[in-house]
Structure 1
């Protein structure tokens, strides 16, 4: 059955506002791929089909196309709106790629929640040139965009602070970015999200700009458990379409609705019997690099080692003084956290939605 679109939905674009059908009519010949993706999603949503086809991001495996039922999208959108107290008539900004599930869900939330949807340029700093006389209640960015806004457009922070909430998804929030958020945002709540394409975007939120230790908290109607590997199992059948969705994310389970994310099981490095989560070390290295003004992108990874089984290594993008960096890490990290080797790679290989493809980047050298 087609999914109805409330008559009071307005789409704001380039200084004008349109009812949904008028927007499609005006821009159906527009060659902007993001505008076409918005139109395609709205038309699919309003069609007789019970599902959409969505490609996964490919950040932890080969991208694949999956069917997502419209009732899953509805359940996810309504859970987010309820959890974040976003109400009919509020204004939301679409500033992430609508080709991927995160962007599609902002459109779905507007449709199902009766929100005004504003479309910003889908670029690294989406609000640099974005203008509106209306306060935006609900923002969604990828962490890289948030960092760009804080670094390049500090004058826009007050505009963001007028909102109810900002969510960050698509990639983990680094410790450096978290500190910047805590320093600049006092009014609006800024959340890191946890989820994947298979869970129709996020199923848990973690408050970043808090004065106390925070964990990921389940959306309304979602609960968690762990398997024997301590990997997260998600119980959200209305959203995921499965009774239990087992992930490869290693967590510390706090309760059935709370967890602390540690890293990917498939990235764990077993060096001499010590299990090392790259993501934990990367947080420490990120803080060090920020302190010493080292701006290279990086990640740590394991390689086979005759004596220890696996060794810990560091991959840097671009140019760098390997000797100086290794000395810095030796002085500031625990001995078994110091990379055995540092590799330079001129340019990391990325997935379609801009995440670092670790496997292919490692293979490239």
Structure 2
């Protein structure tokens, strides 16, 4: 007998059980011009199939996206961790504003099924709160940094965001500028740490001026250690084997760490290790355009840091002088980017992460022959 067909799901106040979920999935798959609805229908179909596993696609932020097979029982265990940590109760409203093509959106559906939540479904846009009525109550939501950013700059959305009981923020680390804005908002916001391979987050960090900055705490059943590179190894009781990451961390104990950056992003410039994410965090209050720190090969130093800014046109001399002044005042001279590149269209994953290597490569290809 298929145990997965017995699950029920409440969407926008209507509960679907047993055969009704099949009908719902088929109806969602008819949405010809709305991929996100078809993705939701496909996920529901996969969940209620008789297979104990499901295919999940990685985001592709650090390499080519790939499909992996994961156990539904492991997804349920991960969902239970989150539901228990945040004390989610039946009939509470959970907001689904992420694409269910990826693990972040899938896990919101699994949490809703497990905890009997009412899933409020809106398009996974940059400003998902615009689709909600002012009177709508949201007890729990999962959003990415770009959605938080756009919600904060719209006054109506900002007020709605502050009324939500709990918001977890994933996808990538948030900037210090965004964190300051969230602290001002006085809402209940949490940064998450996790990945597709861990079936959503395995550690959380509450955004608060009264707590240690950048310190993540493991969820129950999860503990950490380090590999020889200083990268985090994740042990979760619902995963068949440890997950070895490329995330450099300062391990405080087996349940707490401070995130430093990606091992594969580290720049070695004249023997000095530069963590791009550390510089980006320092610069974020001053740059209101998307940007990132990358590197180019250098005959003398091995590598030199480079600042890339998403900017629609070639910046004038005044703008470049302002940017260089910011770099000199914020970043130590030995770590300061030696070059500034502007490019009108960064390459992003579907989950909003910048594809750094691909963006730099495309920039260099289009500017081939210029003196770098």
TM-score exceeds 0.5: yes
- For 2:299 and 2:146, the matched residues in 1 are separated by 38
Closer/same/farther in 2, CA of residues 245 and 270 from structure 1, 3 Å limit: same
Matched, 1:58 2:51: no
8 Å contact kept, 2:231–2:248 = yes
Q: Look up the match of 1:216.
A: 216
| Counterpart among 78, 89, 102 of residue 76 in structure 1 | 78
Q: Match for residue 31 of structure 2? A: 30
Greater mean alpha carbon deviation, residues 29-38 or residues 57-66: 29-38
Deviation, structure 1 residue 55: 1.2
Partner SS for 1:179: helix
Contact 1:2–1:47 (Cα < 8 Å) also in 2: no
CA–CA distance in structure 1, aligned partners of residues 197 and 326 of structure 2: 40
Could you tell me whether the CA contact under 8 Å between 2:134 and 2:160 is conserved in 1? no
Deviation string, structure 1 residues 279-325 (Cα, Å, up to 9, x no partner): 00001111222xxxxx3211111221122121111111123333331
Give the paired residue count: 351
Q: TM-score, normalised by structure 2?
A: 0.89
The corresponding residue for 1:314 is 307
Q: Distance in 1 between matches of 2:131 and 2:89?
A: 27
CA–CA distance in structure 1, aligned partners of residues 228 and 275 of structure 2 = 17
CA deviations over 1:237-271 (Å, ceiling 9, x no partner): 41x331x2110000011111111100000000111
User: 2-side partners of 1:328 and 1:163: how far apart?
Assistant: 36
From the superposition, tell whether residues 263 and 79 of structure 1 become closer, same or farther in structure 2 (CA, over 3 Å). same
Summarize the Cα distance change of 1:162–1:332 in structure 2 as closer, same or farther, 3 Å threshold.
Answer: closer
CA distance in 2, matches of 1:158, 1:323: 37
Q: Report if the CA contact (8 A) 2:309-2:341 is conserved.
A: yes
Write the mapping of 1:208-287 to structure 2, written as runs, cut at 5 A: 208-214=207-213, 215-238=215-238, 240-242=239-241, 244-287=242-285
Query: 1:361 matched to which residue of 2?
Result: 359
Name the structure 2 match of 1:338.
336
1:292 aligned residue: none
* Contact 2:94 2:139 survives alignment (8 Å): yes
Structure 1 residue runs of 5 or longer lacking an equivalent are 290-294
TM-score, normalization by structure 1: 0.91
For the aligned residues, what is the CA RMSD? 1.8
